[in-house]
């Protein structure tokens, strides 16, 4: 299984458990690794057989724009399920970082892995 990845995709969303967080949009960083067989697309240089990371990025951004969650964990679970269904991805590893959420830390968040590699 090959891996197609997106690193440090910045998205804005409503996220947080505190009342003041529910009134603003905050930045999240999305790191995504997706299991994909690149051989069919590479054999014929066929874009239509490749996993379209631009389309995946657009889907992530649209999801973030429409989301309103308290927990980063919920954001990650729902996003993983959406991507696996929408793009027929058999396996993914998703890391969501919330920068500045904890003093003296560059970021905090969750990393999940779903599906079969």
Torsion of CA 8, 115, 85, 43, to 10 degrees: 80
Handedness of CA 74, 61, 50, 39 (dihedral sign): negative
User: Is 98 an annotated catalytic residue?
Assistant: yes
Active-site pick, 41, 98, 103, 107: 98
The residues annotated as belonging to the active site are: 98
């Amino acid at each position: 299984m090959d891996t197609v990845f997106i690193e440090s995709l910045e998205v804005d969303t409503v996220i947080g458990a505190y009342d003041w967080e529910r009134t603003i949009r905050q930045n999240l960083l999305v790191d995504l690794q997706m299991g994909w067989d690149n051989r069919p697309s590479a054999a014929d240089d066929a874009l239509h057989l490749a996993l379209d990371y631009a389309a995946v990025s657009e889907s992530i951004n649209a999801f973030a724009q429409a989301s309103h969650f308290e927990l980063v964990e919920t954001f990650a679970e729902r996003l993983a399920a959406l991507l696996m269904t929408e793009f027929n991805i058999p396996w993914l590893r998703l890391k969501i970082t919330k920068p500045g959420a904890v003093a003296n830390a560059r970021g905090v968040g969750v990393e999940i892995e779903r599906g079969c590699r």
